[in-house]
Structure 1
Amino acid sequence: MVIEGGGKKNDAGYWVKGDGGQKHGFALLEELMSENVVTLPLLLDYSAGKHGDTPCMGTRQVIERQRTVEGGKKMEKLKLGDYSYISYQEVRNLVVNFAQGLHSLDIKSGDRVAMLAETRSEWFISAMGCLRQNVAVVTLYTNLPDDSIAISLQETEVKTVISSYDLLPRLMKVLPQCPDVKEVIVIEDQLEGTGSIPEDGIKLIPFKEVLSLGKSCENVAEALPKPEDLAIIMYTSGSTNQPKGVQLTHTNVMSAIKAYIIQADLTVGDRYLAYLPLAHVMELATELALIAMNVTIAYSSPMTLTSNSPKIMKGTLGDAKIAHPTCMSAVPLILERVIKGVSAAVENQGYLKAMLFTKALKYKQRHERPSFSSRVLDAIIFNKVKDELGGQLRMMVVGGAPLSPEIHNKFRAIFGCTIQVGYGATETSASITSMDSDDPRTGHCGPPNLDVLVKLRDWVEGGYLSTDTPQPRGEIIVGGPMISKGYYKLPKETDEAFVEEDGVRWFLTGDIGEFDETGVLRVIDRKKDLVKLENGEYVSLGNIESRLKTHTLIESLCVIANPGAKCVVAVMVPVAEQLKKIGVTCGFHEDTSLKELCNDEKVKTCVLEELKSHGKKQGLGRWDFPAAIHLTPEPWTPESGLVTAALKIRRKNIKDHFRDAIMSMYDKVSKSE
């Protein structure tokens, strides 16, 4: 059975496969098709011609920077001013100038240029300038480990890297391993320009100089790409091995853009706060779709997003409070942290206020539709919380990992916005399925997107079959125009992940899914996460983690079970404030170090009891509960290799890193039996 996206609503009111029907955004798609907008540069041309002087991109002014050292770590605080915006036409002019500047630097059609920079307007302008000359863009996460950056640059043999003032010192340390790189285009800092980094044989070119070179050029022949030309080599963060370069054509990315356009109810006057990595196709396709829809983009950073963000100077408001976004994108981890932050703040206000907040939240969660009562509760309780994200948020798009129903419900109730969960992969241009904005349910990720083909393939070993009742289940296989050409210079890995069947190119996701009667997909497991215990019971490590992580005590969690083990165990990074509360109940002083608390057996027992109680409420079964836990005070970062650049856990690396602790846990469990 193959399910195809792009249909109409059924009698239950949900979007499923159909032979007709139309939704908001289809008119725009028809206009794009009639204008023959089939590549990313043509999309920008269309938008600039149609939206002209409308504000397109905004950047916040940096007024002052303070640098300090705290606990041996360098810290930076910023005093920020207002946003200043440039129009659609101005963005296009800058892109054309940058493209012509590249030509003057002898960067030609068919070349590759790497991008290692934070999400900002210059990233977008640089990338679009490259694409305008049919130069493929190699995108790198800024938090990739140095060795992964070096491998990516070596593999693609780029001679030019576009980076930023902040990342230049780090890049210069990596470049001795990359002999092909000859020049770096540096996006200047507002206060310090390009700085004074030694060149070490590498030519440093300011971003503005490239714009000036292009502006002074006349009659430069454009090498506009064709739909099938390579646009992006996007390096995935890799949860098991080294990053792989996913090759995406203009057709691939345009397919994801079209899907977003018909899912999002946005138009002129809407404002989007951009802070996720543009180095990932989810954010890149989103911003391009928004530009087609005449939405204004305000650039931000996870470090300056809210007034409590790490780089915000005291007395300075966070970006969200200044930009007042009506729409945002997020990964589940961001929503989890927001909810945990709200919960902690409420607890600190005392028992009475915490009780009132909890009861009001439960009431709003029970009553999905807006009512007079919910508006009163907003005015009295929730508007102060909403204001942290600008107070005008009405749409949140979530992707990158499963979102727990609990977090989904709480965030929607507190912030009063729709949450559209999407499912995709870099190999599918981040486009497989997405929820409809009118769907009040949780725990699923919607029907297939426009032009997407999805089928479920039997996985007999794991017990998932397309003939299962009441719902068909199996490995999720995806086909359609959004499917990547494969991995750059990795033919073996490409052949393992992509197959040709019946004239369709399919990507094997490795995820296990099921369709319900309304045509929506639920991702219920992952092949690599399913482990068979000694007693024959299967446990899903990813499912256990996603349910337990909703507890405010957990910062990071990895559940582990070797095949044939008697039970699962866990390694966890606790939230310091929450663990200290448990420590007090165990007889420790409030100023006891986090390391000492993590090593105490009584504290570990209390943590396990907390997680067991929480897990029961989350519907976990008997064999899902960790029999032992190891607490570690050190946060997991991409630099440590324990999580990916997208902050997904790297299970094998964690097992290797904590091998002794895991063996010790299993020894204690065996002795206690």
Structure 2
Amino acid sequence: MAVRGVMTPHGWYVKALPSGEPYPLESRLNPLFREAGVTTLCGALKYSASLHGSKPCMATRQLLRREREEKNGKTFEKLELGEYRWKTYEEVQQAAVEVGLGVRRLGLEPLDRVVIFAETRAEWLTAAMGCLQHRITVCTLYTTLTDAGVAHGINETEVSLVFTSFDLLPRVARVLQQCPRVTTVVVMEDQLEDVGDTSKIPSNVRMVPFKSFCQKDPAVAAVSTPVPQADDVAIIMYTSGSTGTPKGVELSHTNILASVVAYSVQMNVGPQDRYLSFLPLAHIMELASEIALISLGATILYSSPHTLTSTSPKVMRGTEGDAKVARPTVMNAVPLVLDRIIKGVTQKVEKQGWLKSLVFSEAVKYKFWLEYIPFTSYFMNTFIFRRVQEELGGELKRLVVGGAPLSPQTHDTMRAIFDVSIQVGYGSTETSSCISGMDEDDTITGHTGGPNLGVLMRLVDWEEGNYRVTDKPNPRGEIVVGGPVVCKGYFKLPEENKTAFFEEDGMRWFRTGDIGEVNSLGSIKIIDRKKDLVKLKHGEYVSLGNTESKLKTLNNVENICVFADSTKDKTVAVVVPSADRLWKVAASVGIDEGTLTIEELCTDERVKEAILRELQAHGKKCGLTRWEVPAAVYLTLEPWTPDTGLVTAALKLRRKQLSHHYEHSVHDMYSRLD
């Protein structure tokens, strides 16, 4: 996308808004908005059902058998899975209608709210669409939120009805004691165990199976259906804040449909495509994508990170992963998932011997350099990468990546192995996931493309970080976004709304807090974040997020948090190493397997030095400066999960909590360096 910038008294602008209308005409969804007059999310489903009635819309994989086993005091679950079972567009629309009527019969009125606290599945979107048809706002909660975070979302929105699932019912039962307004829980059933154990649900709370909502009952009196409005708050989406309590973002139908239009322009997707869904629907990137795909007539097959590939943790031996069965042509992903896929592939190849490992790594390294030679790419895909590509179905054509910066190394490696077009996007919940996105034929890495259709973007000076729109060769500054994608604000947080949002010339704007650099073609590169920038003792600035994203691509690193003290001239890091590869590091420094426990390896100075040397070499290779690369490391096998409070529900680092948790370890590392 070739877009030019322009300097104004307010900052440096990139323009990508061809008209003042919410849904520009350059969209393939023109018939949806212009001819059918669709202005709401539920209207998009209704229109697609009328157009693609008998075509497969959603698919759920059959669960054949479940085994549970105890190991080291923990319960592990393995699943035997069968084929996918379909529901047509017409069937999904009818189910949504019945769900909406069922909610109304429970006593809810237009403009009331419900909570959906469930993992990604077909019933999630069906429930949401049913509620929206009756102007009932859907409040979404990440399944990885802590119990306190779930209770906060339920109580703040003052809901009486909670949708949940068989897997999460025990958690809901725990938090209901703290949620006195809840009177009904609707449970999305398990294929084998129905709704499960309901004995711990408080006696004053009614439990309703989801299937009973989806069955038409002619004996029940009809309920009037109101007309949803484009400016209604359709979704209150709770984000997992990196500093504290989750906050709700109010998104209107117009906000999300503006993102849907941008997706339809950016992605060459249509009725012939199969999309594999496994990211949280409680995340705006996934929700907006699925509504766009439904609007375009594609088929959605539901999965889970636990069953995605044949080596995923819940897949029973002898059962194929979801991707292999679904054979998707398009997927969404986040960098963390791609890093894990690459690490899994690398480790699997390494087990086949040094020769195969060498051939594989060299093929990855030089594939794109050799593409000019006829049939070279075909040869590599057929004889070197084909078996690996089959793990994701073998027909994947497009991969959309968002949620966090994608390192160029991960981008190139994933593209080489899976022979897939990777389009990196940039957005936020506050902008309906929509700010910028790469074009399909763009092979340059390290950026997030130009502004999406319908988005206004400008850069504003950030003096503290020494970023200015007058910087050469490219302007830099805080990214500020305007247009129909910008949300209505934060739910019940007026002071934060004043800080984050503002109105100017009839346009609503959002201050992202991200620092961007824009080249002459209008491509955006996220180079920093206000909260992640630290100035060291001698005046050097270190971007903690940028440093971590590059160091995390080292195979031996599962996760990493870099710490910087403004009174010091070096950084240090706490590293969660890959447990499997830690033994190889130990062997490289002369430690025989079995002489130490894996916990003892983490405290062994020889192992720490070896990991540190690898980090420093890898950081230098990735272009980090000497003060950005850690001068000392602390190794821990402690899991960083939302339950421990060290990462958000979206698995982003919580720096304040990590700093407090590892305070003594960080102090000790700096003491040794002094």
What interval of TM-score do these two structures reach, taking the shorter chain for normalisation? Answer: over 0.9
On the 8 A contact 1:60/1:83 being kept in 2, the answer is yes
1:200 aligned partner: 202
1:184 aligned partner: 185
1:627 to 606, 626, 631: 631
1:659 aligned partner: 663
Summarize the alignment of residues 58-97 of structure 1 with structure 2, pairs less than 5 Å apart.
Answer: 58-97=59-98
1:165 aligned partner: 166
Summarize the alignment of residues 543-554 of structure 1 with structure 2, pairs less than 5 Å apart.
Answer: 543-554=546-557
* Aligned-residue offset at 1:590: 2.0
On the 8 A contact 1:608/1:629 being kept in 2, the answer is yes
Structure-2-length-normalised TM-score: 0.95
Structure-1-length-normalised TM-score: 0.96
Summarize the alignment of residues 242-253 of structure 1 with structure 2, pairs less than 5 Å apart.
Answer: 242-253=245-256
**Residue 352 to residue 266, structure 1, CA distance change in 2 (3 Å):** same
**Residue 217 to residue 370, structure 1, CA distance change in 2 (3 Å):** farther
Tell me if 1:669 matches 2:673: yes
1:2 to 8, 13, 22: 13
1:309 aligned partner: 312
Structure 1, 557-566 or 477-486: larger mean CA deviation: 557-566
2:507 aligned partner: 504
1:394 aligned partner: 397
Deviations 1:489-523 (A, max 9, x none): 11111111112223221111110001101111111
Tell me if 1:262 matches 2:265: yes
* Aligned-residue offset at 1:564: 2.8
Q: What secondary structure is seen at the aligned counterpart in 1 of 2:59? A: strand
Distance 2:530 2:663 in 1: 23
Deviations 1:220-279 (A, max 9, x none): 211231000010110001111111000101111111111111111111221000000001
2:134 aligned partner: 133
On the 8 A contact 1:98/1:214 being kept in 2, the answer is no
Tell me if 1:417 matches 2:420: yes
Deviations 1:60-110 (A, max 9, x none): 111111011112111111111100101001100000011111111111101
**Residue 36 to residue 520, structure 1, CA distance change in 2 (3 Å):** same
2:6 aligned partner: none
Q: What secondary structure is seen at the aligned counterpart in 1 of 2:98? A: helix
Aligned-pair Cα RMSD in Å = 1.7
Distance 1:100 1:658 in 2: 51
1:11 aligned partner: none
Q: What secondary structure is seen at the aligned counterpart in 2 of 1:474? A: strand
Deviations 1:199-220 (A, max 9, x none): 3121101101122366654542
Q: What secondary structure is seen at the aligned counterpart in 1 of 2:367? A: helix
On the 8 A contact 1:559/1:626 being kept in 2, the answer is yes
1:644 aligned partner: 648
The amino acid across from 1:83 in the alignment is: Y
Matched residues, number: 658
Q: What secondary structure is seen at the aligned counterpart in 1 of 2:525? A: strand
The amino acid across from 1:171 in the alignment is: V
Distance 2:386 2:85 in 1: 27
Tell me if 1:611 matches 2:612: no
* Aligned-residue offset at 1:156: 0.8
Distance 1:295 1:509 in 2: 32
Distance 2:639 2:534 in 1: 26
Summarize the alignment of residues 228-307 of structure 1 with structure 2, pairs less than 5 Å apart.
Answer: 228-307=231-310
Tell me if 1:563 matches 2:536: no
2:125 aligned partner: 124
1:495 aligned partner: 498
Distance 1:569 1:669 in 2: 10
Distance 1:369 1:165 in 2: 53
On the 8 A contact 1:386/1:415 being kept in 2, the answer is yes
1:10 aligned partner: none
Summarize the alignment of residues 456-495 of structure 1 with structure 2, pairs less than 5 Å apart.
Answer: 456-495=459-498
2:361 aligned partner: 358
Distance 1:371 1:505 in 2: 51
On the 8 A contact 2:408/2:445 being kept in 1, the answer is yes
2:144 aligned partner: 143
Summarize the alignment of residues 90-109 of structure 1 with structure 2, pairs less than 5 Å apart.
Answer: 90-109=91-110
**Residue 217 to residue 564, structure 1, CA distance change in 2 (3 Å):** farther
**Residue 368 to residue 256, structure 1, CA distance change in 2 (3 Å):** farther
Distance 2:360 2:36 in 1: 52
On the 8 A contact 1:513/1:523 being kept in 2, the answer is yes
Distance 1:173 1:331 in 2: 30
**Residue 216 to residue 628, structure 1, CA distance change in 2 (3 Å):** farther
Distance 2:219 2:89 in 1: 21
1:27 aligned partner: 28
The amino acid across from 2:504 in the alignment is: E
Distance 1:586 1:540 in 2: 32
The amino acid across from 1:221 in the alignment is: S
1:578 to 577, 581, 605: 581
On the 8 A contact 2:160/2:182 being kept in 1, the answer is yes
* Aligned-residue offset at 1:368: 5.8
Tell me if 1:587 matches 2:628: no
The amino acid across from 2:60 in the alignment is: T
Q: What secondary structure is seen at the aligned counterpart in 2 of 1:254? A: helix
Tell me if 1:226 matches 2:237: no
2:343 aligned partner: 340
Distance 2:281 2:494 in 1: 26
On the 8 A contact 1:41/1:224 being kept in 2, the answer is no
The amino acid across from 1:491 in the alignment is: P
The amino acid across from 2:454 in the alignment is: D
* Aligned-residue offset at 1:365: 3.0
The amino acid across from 1:512 in the alignment is: I
The amino acid across from 1:302 in the alignment is: P
On the 8 A contact 1:320/1:388 being kept in 2, the answer is yes
**Residue 71 to residue 308, structure 1, CA distance change in 2 (3 Å):** same
Distance 2:539 2:587 in 1: 40
Summarize the alignment of residues 494-533 of structure 1 with structure 2, pairs less than 5 Å apart.
Answer: 494-533=497-536
Q: What secondary structure is seen at the aligned counterpart in 1 of 2:236? A: strand
On the 8 A contact 2:569/2:627 being kept in 1, the answer is no
Distance 1:346 1:533 in 2: 41
Distance 1:400 1:2 in 2: 24
2:408 aligned partner: 405
* Aligned-residue offset at 1:309: 0.6
* Aligned-residue offset at 1:2: 1.9
Q: What secondary structure is seen at the aligned counterpart in 2 of 1:647? A: coil
* Aligned-residue offset at 1:589: 2.4
The amino acid across from 1:132 in the alignment is: Q
Distance 2:610 2:516 in 1: 35
* Aligned-residue offset at 1:595: 0.9
Distance 2:299 2:574 in 1: 42
On the 8 A contact 1:232/1:249 being kept in 2, the answer is yes
Identity %: 51
